[in-house]
Amino acid sequence: MKPFTFERATSPEQAVSAFAAQPHARFLAGGTNLVDLMKLGVETPAHLIDVSKLPLNDIEPTPEGGLRVGANVRNSDLAAHTAVCRDYPALAQALLSGASGQLRNLATTGGNLLQRTRCPYFQDLTAPCNKREPGAGCSAREGVNRDMAVLGHSEHCVATHPSDMAVALAAYDAEVELLGPEGDRTVPAADFHRLPGDSPERDTVLRPGELISHVTLPPPPPGARAAYRKARDRASYAFALASAAAVLALDGDGTVRHAALAFGGVAHRPWRARTAEEMLIGSRADAETFARAADAELAVARPLSDNAFKVPLARNVAVHLLTTLAETPDRPAGS
């Protein structure tokens, strides 16, 4: 690990100012990803700004009936929160499906969103990687690409985003609150991460020096049912080959009134399935309808040499998830 300087921020505003004053700085919270990348030599910050003690660890109801989550809330605390389990079950399930209990006790909401790809070529300093060194090339395109993207990738990068939590947030229409040198702004969670395009080194739409302060969840649609499903190589502690988060609300006659679907493990960011959603609204909630919608969404997939299996896998995960939600009995109000 290369030498670096360190300071502990005393307020969110001071953290942003400290970042502006130090070239090549990084914010540090739980450190479950950043510290690993520093040990590998992938990340080499000259200065670390510890934001883990900032007062951003509350989970509070919003006036509209939603939930506002501080960036320093630990993943384990968020997954176990009563309001999350009751009103946002897909989020709780996504958090519990990611990493081990020990890591969830340390990882934060903001850090989870900012974790970087687990592409082995990105983590290997001897391998060309445009994400790590723009212009170097993408080793994964012609290399081992079984775990890589099938949607939205470019000739410059085929890596996938690893977060389970971010997939659920995208399906729930959450928003990410940012504090930066130019002031506050809010970004939809579904638009927070980028597709690689010509700049795969940029994972998110964050501007230099911006700090995630909160994530806000809107009230769930009336009568909504939601869940998260993840297909992976082993039962635990593995990143998704394909996953899906869905929020579904039906009318009394069994037609779809609200549908939100997001895929994980198949793109450089959580993939909000807008085409499928448009097909579902107003349609009969059954397996045949769900299959047609999933097929339409995945028709634009561009599998690589080793990962064509991800397309039917993602389809089956989504169809099974939506079918299960459609068949789930309504819960009594307030349960």
User: For residue 149, what are its two tokens?
Assistant: 């993207």
- Cα 226 from chain centre: 16
- Cα 242 from chain centre: 13
Mean pLDDT to the nearest integer, 21-43 = 95
Which residues have CB under 8 Å from 291's CB, separation 6+? 315, 319
pLDDT at position 1 is 66
Mean pLDDT to the nearest integer, 41-68 = 97
Distances (CA, A) of 300 to 4, 191, 297: 44, 19, 7
Domains 1-52 and 225-327 fall in the same CATH topology: no
The per-residue pLDDT for range 241-270, each reduced to its tens digit, is: 999 999 999 999 999 999 999 999 999 999
pLDDT at position 235 is 84
pLDDT at position 2 is 86
Domain ranges of the chain: 1-52, 225-327
Mean pLDDT to the nearest integer, 221-240 = 94
Distances (CA, A) of 310 to 151, 192, 242, 263, 304: 10, 24, 7, 11, 10
User: For residue 101, what are its two tokens?
Assistant: 């209990």
Decide which of 103 and 136 is more confident. 136
- What global pTM score does this model have? 0.96
Mean pLDDT to the nearest integer, 76-97 = 98
* CB neighbour class for 296 (10 Å; exposed up to 12, middle 13-18, buried from 19): middle
CATH entry 3.30.390.50 includes domain 225-327: yes
* Sign of the dihedral through C-alpha 83, 167, 232, 273: positive
Please report the DSSP string for 26-90 in residue order. EEESS-TTHHHHHHHTS---SEEEE-TTSS---EEE-TTS-EEEETT-BHHHHHH-HHHHHH-HH
Note whether 156 and 275 are within 8 A (CB). no
Q: Which residues pair with 188 in a beta bridge?
A: 175
CATH entry 1.10.510.10 includes domain 1-52: no
Largest Cα separation within the chain, whole Å, is 64
Cα–Cα dist 75/108, whole Å: 6
* Nearest in space to 26 (alpha carbons), one of 206, 240, 173, 187: 206
Cα angle: 299, vertex 162, 90; to 5 degrees: 80
Cα–Cα dist 75/96, whole Å: 8
Torsion of CA 289, 291, 294, 299, to 10 degrees: -110
Q: What share of the chain is helix, strand, coil (3-state, %, to 5)?
A: 30, 20, 45
pLDDT at position 210 is 97
Residue 107 predicted with pLDDT over 80: yes
Q: How confident is the model at residue 333 (pLDDT cuts 50, 70, 90)?
A: very low
* Nearest in space to 190 (alpha carbons), one of 300, 266, 270: 270
Decide which of 1 and 168 is more confident. 168
Q: How confident is the model at residue 74 (pLDDT cuts 50, 70, 90)?
A: very high
